[in-house]
Structure 1
Amino acid sequence: MSEPTSTTRLTVTVGPVAHGGHCVARHEGRVIFVRHAIPGETVEIALTENDDDAKFWRADVTRVVEASPERVEHFWPEADALRAAARHGSPIGGAEFGHISRKGQLELKTAVVREQLERLGGLSSDSVDALFSVGVEDVDAKGTPDQQAGLGWRTRVGFAVTPSGKLGMHAHRSHTILPIQEMPLAIPAVDELRLWDLDFTGIDRVEVAAPANGSGVLVLLAPVHGLSDKAAGSAVKRIARFLAALPTPPSVARWNPENSAIEAVSGRGWVKETTDDHEFRVTGDGFWQIHRMAPKVLTDAALGYLLQGGYLNDGADVADLYAGAGLFTAPLADAVGSDGSVLSVEGSPGTSRDARKNLHASEQVEILQGRVEKILGTQSRASHTEAGQRRHFDAVVLDPPRAGAGKAVVRALVATAPKAIAYVSCDPAAFARDVKYFANAGWKIEKLRAFDLYPHTHHVETVALLVPATAKASTTD
């Protein structure tokens, strides 16, 4: 990251929203990605990255000259760029759309999904119109007033620690850690811990998992790298003693982010997550959907597509790729019944162990830990039937990490000739790139929905139904 020796300020008129939480502005032919702006506004900006040879610059808004009708007062002072500029500081990251009305956020996210599908996915504007006329859906529309305002949704939160031992968060694209006194995006159980009142000296990172079902909260503490084992243990135990005095004490565990090792200090090193029909154990920093409603919203959408299309009949052979602790695997097993089969693939060893515990009673489920493209590869036992023939799936749920599935996974998946794929994605750009790979291999999007599971941020979740097109190409290049 470039650190200019002096801050250059410009006044610009803001153009369209771009993927990544920025809007595009131009100055003397130079593209500037501006955070904390809204399309159509005239704003004063401070350049934060402006190397002479850079393809583009970055900037934050410091003053609004002409405001958009969708501009509102930011709900979180520490994340507000205007208040930060007034005190000659930087806002924390994690709520970069907090200055935009909820209606405006949905419109901008819809524009981003559309633009990525057209530019990276190769879809025509008419095709996107037909698939995506509803736009990004507000999953909090029927919640409490706070939830409708986009607050109280996070069940997982990560914090840093300031040099003085106070709980904090990073400024955007910076190593600077700023202290905080609240986390309004989190469900109430996180704020009730009052972590900002503690002295975290000796701790580098803090992760909190607070299941939406109200079951026990887990606090993970990562000691500062290089501390002696004794000093690290003392720091963790000191904080655990404070938390044990709370009316509803959380579990506390020492945590190594490098290998996800968990050592429970008080309580247990895992949390219990639930859906309407299933219970899941999720260890330590294992993956689980962050928004309190995300598990239901995403399983209803993804499995709804497959069930409505007739791809999940009794006895079907299906796969859940990047399966995590089994959120999709469990209902898939229910749908195909004891005569069907479910291949569940997860790369993380710890999360894969959780999946084995969670699905141990489902004999039709095979859980494999490893890289998806290798497990689906032609030399893999899992890619063949017991008779030695190439395995062909009736349906697949594909839920890759933020970077997307990628060309190798798409190629390996297409080789199994599934009848349909429900693709769950948390990044519109990665999703659009994969859509292009699938299109080059003879596949198309048949249905598409998008959900705002990350209010006040630029992130958005999509769920698509992919099916083979009539004419198939021969490559994913």
Structure 2
Amino acid sequence: MGPVAHGGHCVARVPDPAHERGRVVFVRHALPGERVVLEVTEGTEGDSFWRADAVEVLEPSPDRVEAPCPVAGPGLCGGCDLQHVALPAQRDQKAAVVREQLQRLAGLEVPVVVEPVPGDVDGLRWRTRQRWARTPDGRRGLRKHRSHEVVAVDDCLITHPEAREPEPGEVVETVRGRDLAVAADGFWQVHPGAPEALVGAVLEALAPRAGESVLDLYAGVGLFSAFLAEAVGRDGRVVAVEGDAVAASYAGRNLPDVDVLPGDVAAVLASPEAPAVADLVVLDPPRTGAKRAVCDAVAARGPRAIAYVACDPAALARDVALLAGHGYALTSLRAFDLFPMTHHVECVALLEHATPAAPGV
């Protein structure tokens, strides 16, 4: 079995006369260095790669453990990719993926350590929101990987004992002693340790100063803006931009000292209502990343520092390369294990201009 790849699988090459180096197969439930029996789950002769499950392990890795959940495995619940991997090795795998993406897409060699955060027990019982599906006979369950088929699940081991299912309404989340209202079915980090870890990392990276101006892009209900506004004080200014109308309305309620601009981030940045300059920028985009138009618009404002909060290392690496074209260098990176037992990882990257950039550069 070959190396781990982005997406929760390992890369294997199986002999195939039509492919000189062997056909590429992305294999779930495997570990690098193992010998396994594969069962192809997706792929035909004309496809460039296949997908497969490791259904039998012939030579196991030292990092392989017995999955704690009885429905984590080939053909079963698709929610967890890595329950067969010891927790320290899970974090090593995620670090390797982040390193590989930054090297391949941004040309950077960056040391990465994935940090645990408080709020789970050995990687379990951390998910504070859980959307359940139902089997045909009405039992509670979760879907198989890349499928609409539902597997009955009596007890999801990554779900917090007090987890709630998203539904219409409103809840209040408390971070660092501050209450933030959020739609009960809206976005909020599902790991109980995530908000504190991310706020701390962003504030540490940016080191905001009194009187500075801040742009908080993809601001959600205002998690980062709330604490950035405190840091820059009355003489500073924070502008939060959020594309989801409901989240933007909550941000307006949560942030009396912040200017909240609702609307698509790229469109708002291109409009006259957005500030033309900023000392600091926070980017916390969805999984697809910020992309070129937003990166160009951010760099044009000449911030001294950009904190990029990323849930997808490939999108992060692509956008780091785009910002490098404007003179911004990746100067620090922290990675957090906010989704144990899955392949997902959250990063907070700091990008700084070699010299203070003038607006329009």
Global fold match (TM > 0.5)? yes
Q: Is the 8 A contact 1:345 1:369 kept in 2?
A: yes
- 2:264 pairs with 1:366: no
Percent of aligned positions with the same letter in both sequences?
A: 49
Letter in 2 for 1:425: A
Aligned residue in 2 for 1:337: 233
Residues 175-254 of structure 1 correspond to what in structure 2 (within 5 A)? 175-190=148-163, 208-209=164-165, 219-220=166-167
- 2:343 pairs with 1:458: yes
3-state SS in 2 of match to 1:323: coil
Deviation at 1:380, TM superposition (A): 2.2
Letter in 1 for 2:198: L
Aligned residue in 1 for 2:19: none
Aligned residue in 2 for 1:46: 39
Aligned residue in 2 for 1:27: 14
Deviation at 1:284, TM superposition (A): 2.8
Distance 1:59 1:288 in 2: 33
Aligned residue in 2 for 1:381: 273
3-state SS in 1 of match to 2:37: strand
Unaligned runs of 5+ in 1: 1-13, 82-89, 191-207, 210-218, 221-261, 263-268, 384-390
Distance 2:14 2:279 in 1: 53
Deviations 1:196-224 (A, max 9, x none): xxxxxxxxxxxx35xxxxxxxxx52xxxx
Aligned residue in 1 for 2:143: 170
Deviation at 1:408, TM superposition (A): 1.0
Distance 1:22 1:357 in 2: 42
Residue-pair matches, total: 353
Deviation at 1:375, TM superposition (A): 1.3
Aligned residue in 1 for 2:194: 294
Q: Is the 8 A contact 2:289 2:312 kept in 1?
A: yes
Distance 2:173 2:117 in 1: 19
Greater Rg by CA: 1
3-state SS in 1 of match to 2:67: coil
Distance 2:355 2:24 in 1: 41
Deviation at 1:272, TM superposition (A): 1.1
Distance 1:282 1:471 in 2: 36
3-state SS in 2 of match to 1:120: helix
Deviations 1:30-70 (A, max 9, x none): 00000010000000110001211111000011111000001
Q: Is the 8 A contact 1:116 1:428 kept in 2?
A: yes
- 2:180 pairs with 1:280: yes
Q: Over aligned residues, Cα RMSD in angstroms?
A: 1.7
Deviation at 1:341, TM superposition (A): 0.8
Aligned residue in 2 for 1:109: 94
Deviation at 1:471, TM superposition (A): 11
Aligned residue in 1 for 2:4: 17
Letter in 2 for 1:345: V
Aligned residue in 2 for 1:347: 243
- 2:21 pairs with 1:136: no
Higher strand proportion (structure 1 or 2): 2
Distance 2:150 2:345 in 1: 26
TM-score, length-scaled by structure 2: 0.94
3-state SS in 2 of match to 1:175: coil
3-state SS in 2 of match to 1:163: coil
- 2:327 pairs with 1:435: no
Deviations 1:258-286 (A, max 9, x none): xxxx3xxxxxx111100113101111321
Letter in 2 for 1:95: C
Distance 1:189 1:156 in 2: 9
Deviations 1:400-429 (A, max 9, x none): 011111111101111111111011101111
3-state SS in 2 of match to 1:151: coil
Letter in 1 for 2:6: H
Letter in 1 for 2:350: L
Deviation at 1:470, TM superposition (A): 5.3
Letter in 2 for 1:381: E
Distance 1:351 1:164 in 2: 36
Instruction: Select 1:94's aligned residue among 59, 75, 79.
Output: 79
Letter in 2 for 1:449: R
Residues 382-397 of structure 1 correspond to what in structure 2 (within 5 A)? 382-383=274-275, 391-397=276-282
Deviations 1:221-263 (A, max 9, x none): xxxxxxxxxxxxxxxxxxxxxxxxxxxxxxxxxxxxxxxxx3x
TM-score, length-scaled by structure 1: 0.72
Q: Which runs of 4+ in 1 moved over 2 A?
A: 469-472
Instruction: Select 1:424's aligned residue among 294, 309, 326.
Output: 309
Unaligned runs of 5+ in 2: 16-21
Q: Is the 8 A contact 1:373 1:413 kept in 2?
A: no
3-state SS in 2 of match to 1:107: helix
Distance 2:274 2:190 in 1: 31
Aligned residue in 2 for 1:469: 354
Q: Is the 8 A contact 1:106 1:136 kept in 2?
A: yes
- 2:52 pairs with 1:59: yes
Q: Is the 8 A contact 1:72 1:99 kept in 2?
A: yes
Deviation at 1:446, TM superposition (A): 0.8
3-state SS in 1 of match to 2:334: strand
Aligned residue in 2 for 1:325: 221
